[in-house]
Amino acid sequence: MDKHEQDKGPGLPAIEPQEDQPGSRRRFVATSLGLAGAAAAALIPAERALAVDAPSMSPAPPREVMTMIMARDGTRIYYKDWGTGPVVVFSHGWPLSADAFEDQMFFLAQNGYRVIAHDRRGHGRSAQTWGGNDLDTYADDLGNLLDTLDVKKVTLVGHSTGGGEVVRYIGRHGAKRVAKIVLIGAIPPVMIKSDSNPGGTPKEAFDGLRKSVQADRAQFFYDLSAPFYGANRPGSKVSEGVRRSFQAQGLQAGMPASYFCVKAFSETDLTADLKKILVPALILHGDDDQIVPIADSAMLSSKLLKNAKLIVYPGAPHGMCTTEKDKVNADLLAFLKS
């Protein structure tokens, strides 16, 4: 570990709340309701009738608009499926959605790959379930997606919690459909500090996440975007749009997933699952990751996996799929072709 990592230490960064954000949820909802009310009042009776009847006269949307599969417990899982060629399947992090991988998916689809990404249950456009917000269920949902689409020789790519999902999937279901895996800023082996994991993040940090989710989820997700993308570092070029996108994706997730997934990604021990993985693995991690510190994640996982290559991105944050997208894309493509 270099001096930079030693000085940084484990744990999640303090997040400074900001007041009166122009894109706050309350202001958005209030404005939307006001506009909707004005529009409704302006309709004459005949136009109201037309407005009511209009949906029945509209054609059904094409399949690509909202592609769903059913999990084994009946939960609706949204996914996107672009391109043709060898298959790459993406699993996103908390509290985001499949949209977090749009830069990688678009790039690989243009380079001759079929790319698939789902919104984890409770996140994005998938159903907001009360139960099943745990890595076993997430892994089973990923397996159901692969089985339903009947894809083979797949490269699984997981970022953050999604990396834990990929590892637990192989631990539970084997690698019969899997050719390779990629872990990006991923949570394995285990995040929480304990006697067996003294370098982990203290439980109090995760308790703080849960408290913030309940106190003001909209503001919290905006604030969390700063350490996520390194926007709190000197010289950061992270745009306001990127931070607002993080907030918007976070607010698509339901409250149960926002809250319960914290326990899933922080306390699930994936050590045994990592030891079962024999397929080639690529690990990408930033050495300035303030969310999943590299010393207690990638540095350990790379030793537990039997066939792994670790690439450390100097100065890169947790959200490196966005901030370092060109390098991530190039490293992914090189690994896929190797």
Of the candidates 140, 287, 288, 289, the residue annotated as catalytic is 289
The pLDDT of residue 59 is above 60:
no
Contact between residue 126 and residue 77 where contact means Cβ atoms under 8 Å apart: yes
Distance CA 297, CA 188 (A): 6
Q: Would you say residue 9 has pLDDT above 80?
A: no
Task: Tell me what the mean pLDDT of segment 197-225 comes to.
Answer: 98
Question: Catalytic residue at 91?
Answer: no
Rounded to an integer, the average pLDDT of 156-172 is 98
Q: What pLDDT score was predicted for residue 66?
A: 55
pLDDT score recorded for residue 7: 43
Q: Which residues pair with 76 in a beta bridge?
A: 70
Distance CA 152, CA 179 (A): 8
- Confidence class for position 227, pLDDT limits 50, 70, 90: very high
Tokens 């202001």 locate to 27
Q: Write the DSSP assignment of 170-227 as a string of letters.
A: HHHH-STTEEEEEEES---S--B-BTTBTTSB-HHHHHHHHHHHHHHHHHHHHHHHHH
What pLDDT score does 39 carry?
43
Enter the pTM of the model: 0.82
The mean pLDDT of the chain is 87
Distance between terminal CA atoms of the chain? 29
Arch. (CATH architecture) of 68-337: 3-Layer(aba) Sandwich (3.40)
Percent of the chain with pLDDT over 70: 80
Residue 10 DSSP symbol: S
Helix-, strand-, coil-residue percentages of the chain, each rounded to 5: 50, 15, 35
With 80 as the cut, is the pLDDT of residue 266 above it?
Answer: yes
Mean pLDDT of 38-60: 40
**Token couple for 285:** 């991690």
pLDDT tens-digit series, residues 61-82: 444 445 999 999 999 999 999 9
User: Does the annotation mark 92 as catalytic?
Assistant: no
Q: Is a pLDDT exceeding 60 seen at residue 211?
A: yes
Of the residues 160, 225, 258, 297, only one is catalytic, namely: 160
Query: Comparing 9-13, 156-160, 272-276, 281-285, which segment has the lowest mean pLDDT?
Result: 9-13
Residue 212 has a pLDDT of 98
- Per-residue pLDDT averaged across 118-141, rounded? 97
pLDDT value at residue 147: 97
Rounded Cα gap, residues 224 and 25, in angstroms: 16
**For residue 12, what pLDDT is reported?**
62
Placement of tokens 């590299």 in the chain: 294
Token pair of 212 as six digits: 């913030």
Q: Which residue has the tokens 């991923």?
A: 186
Exposed/middle/buried for residue 267 (C-beta within 10 Å: 0-12, 13-18, 19+):
middle
What is the structure's pLDDT at 11?
57
Rg of the chain over Cα atoms, rounded to whole angstroms, equals 21
Q: How far is CA 205 from CA 13, 24, 99, 258, 266, in A?
A: 9, 25, 27, 15, 10
Tokens of 55: 């949906």
Write the burial class of residue 53 (CB in 10 Å: 0-12 exposed, 13-18 middle, 19+ buried): exposed
- Identify the band that residue 16 occupies on the pLDDT scale cut at 50, 70 and 90: low
Question: Could you give the C-alpha distances from 131 to 112, 118, 153, 190, 310, in angstroms and in order?
Answer: 38, 18, 31, 22, 35
Q: Is 160 a catalytic residue?
A: yes
Which amino acid makes up residue 199?
A: G
What mean pLDDT is predicted for residues 29-44?
44
Strand-pair partners of 78: 68
Among 92, 159, 285, 318, the active-site one is 318
Beta strand pairing call for 281-286 and 178-184 = parallel
What whole-number distance in Å separates Cα of residue 184 and Cα of residue 311?
A: 10
Q: What's the CA gap between 330 and 104, in Å, rounded?
A: 9
Q: Which helix (H) or strand (E) holds 6?
A: helix 3-8
The pLDDT of residue 205 is 97
What is the average pLDDT across 119-144? 97
Distance CA 106, CA 109 (A): 5
Instruction: Say which residue, 8 or 18, is predicted with more confidence.
Output: 18
